[in-house]
Amino acid sequence: MAALWQGSLVQRYEGEDIDYVPYHAGEDAGSFTYHFDPGRLAVPRYQTLIKIAVWLFYIFVYSQVVRR
């Protein structure tokens, strides 16, 4: 389970089945954009961070609209 959370395993969709396969990094494994690879966005750690960021954005927008 820790390998999935850390991104060592990624989800691959084969029709209706979901397979978990090892993630193979490309040449830019040390770069910032490495973390935004579409295959890695299904990693639970990144899904949680994206959910929190979107939630904070909506809270900010909502509070600005209510203030007016």
pLDDT tens, per residue, the chain with 68 residues: 677 777 778 778 788 888 888 877 666 666 776 666 676 666 777 788 889 999 999 999 999 999 87
Which pLDDT value is given to residue 26? 63
Domain definitions of the chain by residue range: 2-67
Q: What is the pLDDT of residue 30?
A: 66
Instruction: Give the integer Cα–Cα distance in Å for 61 and 16.
Output: 37
Residue pair 21/9 in contact (Cβ under 8 Å)? The answer is: yes
What are residue 53's phi and psi, to 5 degrees? -65, -45
